[in-house]
Chains A and B, each alone.
Chain A
Amino acid sequence: MSERLYKIQLPIFLTALFGILMILEHFFQMPSVVAGFNVTMRSFVTIVSAAALMLGIIFLTIAHVRTISEKKSEWYYSIFYIVSLLITAGLGMVGVRNESFLWIYNNMTSPIGAALYSLTAFYITSAAYRVFRARNWSASILLVCGFIVLMMLIPIGAIIFPPVVPIGEWLRSFPSSAGFRGMIMGTSLGVMGLGVRVFTGRQKEHLGIREERAGGE
Chain B
Amino acid sequence: MSILITGRTLGLSILIVITIAILYYMQQSFSGKMPKLRRLQAVDAIEEILGRCVEMGAPAWYLMDTVDMTTPSVLAPTVATFQILSYTARMAARLGAKFFVPVTQGLAYSIANDIVEEAYKAEGNPEGFDPFGTVMYLPAGADRMYIINHMWSEQIAGAFFLGSWYHTAVIFTENAARVVALMLGGTDTTHNIPFLVAICDYSLIGEELYALGAFVSEDPTQTASLAGQDMGKYIALILILLGSILATVGFDISGIFAW
Contacts and interface: CB of A to CB of B under 8 A. Distances in A.
A17 B110 CA distance: 23
B118 A52 contact: no
Contact of A185 (B83, B107, B117, B236): B236
Q: Interface extent on A, as a size class?
A: 35 or more
B17 to A, nearest CB: 10
Interface in B207-245: 207-211, 213-214, 217-222, 225-226, 228-229, 232-233, 236
B128 interface: no
A202 B111 CA distance: 18
A70 B208 CA distance: 43
Contacts of B83: 203, 205-206
Interface in A43-84: 45-46, 48-57, 59-60, 62-63, 66, 73
Nearest to B198: A131
Contacts of B118: 208-210
Interface stretch (B37-45, B53-61, B188-196): B188-196
Contact of B137 (A49, A60, A130, A186): A60
B255 interface: no
A190 B19 contact: no
Contacts of B15: 23, 192
Interface in A185-202: 185-187, 189-198, 200, 202
A120 B106 contact: no
Interface string B80-106: 101101110010000000000001011
23 contacts: A27-B11, A27-B12, A28-B3, A28-B4, A45-B69, A50-B106, A52-B105, A56-B105, A60-B137, A117-B167, A119-B171, A127-B173, A183-B206, A185-B233, A185-B236, A186-B233, A190-B188, A190-B206, A190-B208, A194-B79, A196-B225, A205-B82, A210-B118
A-B pairs with lowest CB-CB distance, top 5 = A53-B106, A56-B137, A190-B210, A190-B207, A208-B114
